[in-house]
Amino acid sequence: MGALCRLPGIGRKTAERLALHLARARPEEARALAAAVARVGAEVNTCARCRNLADRDPCAICADPARDSGLLCVVESPADLAAMEAAGAYRGLYFVLSGALSPLDGVGPGQLGLDALTRRAAEGVRELIIATNSTVEGEATADLVAQSLARPGLLISRLGYGMPVGGDLKYIDGLTIARALESRRRREPGGS
Amino acid sequence: MGALCRLPGIGRKTAERLALHLARARPEEARALAAAVARVGAEVNTCARCRNLADRDPCAICADPARDSGLLCVVESPADLAAMEAAGAYRGLYFVLSGALSPLDGVGPGQLGLDALTRRAAEGVRELIIATNSTVEGEATADLVAQSLARPGLLISRLGYGMPVGGDLKYIDGLTIARALESRRRREPGGS
Ligand SMILES: [Zn+2]
Ligand SMILES: [Zn+2]
């Protein structure tokens, strides 16, 4: 399951379906599918610097001199990195963890890639922005990253919680409302 | 449409369906429906202080001495107030606007209830928390409230924007990601 989750574009639910399918398939079918997956895997490269899927190493993001190399955004997966890039608001670099902490899937602290992250964060990074998901696993991962990477001179931050843009209060869950209230901001009469 | 939206439990979409239905109905049908709505309306009272629907005036929230009367949370509708209460994180008082700015629905600055809000905010309020929706109309309303209510000694704040709790980055829209990044917070190693 853990390994399936780390395939590009494969979320947790799809991985579960795939795992179920594999478990039920005849042995020769399962072997053929596994071989096909291995071939695809061999064609996709990983950037050694950010661990994102890439067609070259370093990837285009890591190699871009216009990006701020003092900012390092930590995400759970290549899909999360893609969402962050699509938002178009971030101009720093990335580090892709091997998913989130999930003991039942065999992803413990040793499997996340914290050693590699610690080395990477020592290379001129002034702020580490933890952008793991706001799920239970993502929060546990954020806690662990913050604890493991803490050192003087490194600012560690976490994406803000609150109302999604376009959200209607009456359809937003209570935990999110509570966070939005907690993270309320002073509003100046002129600006936003 | 504006009037229909202000009925308890009637959202914008339901109001649109109702309005369409009324426009297509035979005159006697429409009159009968209007009379039924008027009867229901007469049975529901409004709290003069917060303008929430209530069975007595002042309502149970406004009359509760345990709540912090220095905090006033401004919402668009009774349904939004109910969502805020259900979140269980707020211990101040409320003020319910007559919806959000929506010129096409005939809700302009004069229809929102800003005069009543201004008078209410002068009664010992130290912080006004604007909790209008994060839709285009809700944001325009938040701007107008912040501009109209500004006075020395009154702190005006707005609910925070960011990731919804339980959210997965790859399914969150780009504008929300951009806001979550903008509103990121320093993370201490020990706490959250
Ligand atoms: Zn890279
Ligand atoms: Zn009241």
The bound ligand whose nearest atom lies closest to the alpha carbon of A53 is 1
Determine the pLDDT at residue B114: 96
Residue B63 distance to chain A (closest CA, Å): 22
| CA B12 to each of CA B18, B38, B77, B137: distance values in angstroms, whole numbers, following the listed order | 10, 19, 11, 12
Q: Which of A178-182, B27-31, B172-176 has the lowest mean pLDDT?
A: B27-31
Q: Per-residue pLDDT averaged across B121-129, rounded? A: 97
Q: Which of A18-22, A73-77, A158-162, B83-87 has the lowest mean pLDDT?
A: A18-22
At a CB cut-off of 8 Å and minimum separation 6, what does B170 contact? Answer: A11, A77, A79, A80, A82, A83
Q: Residue B151 region, left (φ>0) first, then alpha (ψ -120 to 50), else beta?
A: beta
Give the residue from A163, A137, A131 showing the smallest Cα distance to B87: A163
What CATH number should be reported for the domain holding residue A21? 1.10.8
B124 and B76 together in one domain: yes
B128 and B164 together in one domain: no
With cut-offs at 50, 70 and 90, classify the pLDDT of residue A1: very low
A93 and A150 together in one domain: yes
Q: Is residue A55 part of a domain?
A: no
A117 and A145 together in one domain: yes
B82 and B118 together in one domain: yes
Q: Is residue B190 part of a domain?
A: yes
Q: Residue A106 region, left (φ>0) first, then alpha (ψ -120 to 50), else beta?
A: left
Q: Is residue A120 part of a domain?
A: yes
SS3 state of residue A184: coil
Query: What is the largest distance, in Å, between two alpha-carbon atoms of chain A?
Result: 69
Query: B130 vs A187: CB contact, 8 Å cut-off?
Result: yes
The more confident residue out of B50 and A17 is B50
Residue A31 distance to chain B (closest CA, Å): 31
A161, two tokens:
């919680």
Contacts of B150 in chain A (CB under 8 A): 189
Contacts of B174 in chain A (CB under 8 A): 83, 86-89
Range of the structural domain that residue B171 is part of: 160-192
Determine the pLDDT at residue B192: 46
A149 and A79 together in one domain: yes
Q: Is residue A31 part of a domain?
A: yes
With cut-offs at 50, 70 and 90, classify the pLDDT of residue A8: low
Q: What is the rounded end-to-end Cα distance, in angstroms, of chain B?
A: 44
Query: B159 vs A162: CB contact, 8 Å cut-off?
Result: yes
